[in-house]
Amino acid sequence: MSRATRRFRSDDPPWDALASWADEYGFKQVHKDAVRGKYRRGIGIGTAPIYVEMIYTEPWAYLQGWIGINLLVRPGVLFFARSEWEPRTGGWRLKRSRRIARELINPLFQSFEVDSIE
């Protein structure tokens, strides 16, 4: 897996902050259970879909962000892409999608006071 992952301590469940961020930035919830919440923005038309997932087991939270590579995106990267792509800078593949993902995910990372994606 190639995901931007951050771990932080949280004594209070972070679900409300995650849901609020998702509403503000247009992410839709695709999975939710007692310890995991997963959100997606886009389906691969125009830019690759962007995913954010949080796993919370008190007192630790794991926050992950990545770009999904589906069949709509794969031809645009000449079929050389993994199924997941970290949104950090560098390289020519998925440059636009990675930039957009960083712009959307970094405010969430900053709200939890963890390092932004470079």
Judge contact between 108 and 15, C-beta under 8 A: no
Mean of pLDDT over the chain: 85
Question: Would you state the pLDDT for residue 95?
Answer: 76
- Is the pTM for the entire model greater than 0.75? yes
Task: Answer yes or no: is pLDDT of 35 > 90.
Answer: yes
Which of 50-54, 93-97, 98-102 is predicted most confidently? 50-54
Task: Answer yes or no: is pLDDT of 73 > 80.
Answer: no
Q: Which residues contact 114 (CB under 8 A, 6 or more apart)?
A: 6, 7, 8, 63
Task: Answer yes or no: is pLDDT of 50 > 70.
Answer: yes
Question: Would you state the pLDDT for residue 91?
Answer: 64
- Tell me the domains of the chain and their CATH numbers: 4-111 (3.30.2030)
Rounded CA-CA distance 6/33 in Å is 20
Q: What is the mean pLDDT of residues 16-41?
A: 95
pLDDT grade, residue 75 (50/70/90)?
low
